Amino acid sequence: MIKFFRKIRQNMIKENKASKYLLYAIGEIFLVVIGILIALQINNWNEDSKQSRIEQQYLVALKEEFKYSHQKLEQVIAVNKSNADYALKISDLMGPDIPAITEKEFSTLAMEMTNWEVIYHPNQAVLDEIISSGKLSIFSNAKLKFALSSSKGLLSKIRFQEDEHAVVRRDIIAIMNADGNAKKMITDAQGDTFDIKESKFKLGNLHLLQSQKLENELTDFILTARYLNQNYYEELKTELDAMLKLIDNEIDSK
């Protein structure tokens, strides 16, 4: 093709057809420009297609990640509520007189209340990789992009509240260990756990129900647990629901 155009140019020059040659040269330049523009457009289409495929891959991965985190949040909300419910049952039994409850019943309530630590562990591997590698720009939806970039703000506030609640939990355990019989409490509630045998001391744990100090700590425990669920976890749950909806809309729209 190049040889063909070169031959035409040479013939025109030999025949002194300057005006025709000029028109031909302009036309040839025009064709070259058009070719370059088409090549650039094809390259842009290919690049856009590549970026779109990468975006879709991230969207699918993020959907699975946020679904997992949502599930973990539901679990920690349930555990936190259960712990607070057990604490409330103990608190209702407390007073200057020992209530009609057995050592085993009290030990079971106390162990159920303190057995499980309340801490939310989301899976954020994909989100961390996107943010750390500067790939947020790959998402075309500005609302989704902002939501992803700011998603860790609420989590930091949740961590603070979880720490506050954990301090109260540790204080309750410390009081029961210092003033009660921890070994008896474990064996009464859970039997021969980890080969722990019954205590040889006569001290029981029912007298803890007469402790004003323990009652105060239980009140704080209930309040921080309820506050964590209602004002932090529920807000996060709403945020995760909105994030999943945004992601679903982007997947379906491509």
Q: What is the pLDDT of residues 106-140, one digit of tens each?
A: 999 999 999 999 999 999 999 999 988 888 888 88
Burial (Cβ within 10 Å: 0-12, 13-18, ≥19) of residue 216: middle
| Top-confidence residue, 206 or 252 | 206
Q: Kindly state the average pLDDT of the residues 28-53.
A: 62
Digit-coded pLDDT (tens) for 54-66: 889 999 999 999 9
- For residues 98 and 104, give the distance between their C-alpha atoms in angstroms, rounded to a whole number: 14
Q: Are 200 and 238 in contact (CB under 8 A)?
A: no
Element containing residue 63 per DSSP (H, E): helix 18-93
Q: Where are the beta strands (DSSP E) in 111-243?
A: none
Q: What is the pTM of this model?
A: 0.80
Determine the pLDDT at residue 14. 54
Least confident range from 12-21, 86-95, 143-152: namely 12-21
Most confident of 31-35, 116-120, 193-197: 116-120
**pLDDT for residue 2 is more than 50:** no
Judge contact between 90 and 110, C-beta under 8 A: yes
Which one has a higher pLDDT value, 153 or 165?
Answer: 165
Mean pLDDT, the chain, integer:
86
Query: Residue 224's CB: how many other CB atoms inside 10 A?
Result: 21
Under a CB-based contact definition with an 8 Å cutoff, are residues 216 and 87 in contact? Answer: no
**Confidence class for position 23, pLDDT limits 50, 70, 90:** low
From CA 148, how far away is CA 151, in angstroms rounded?
Answer: 5
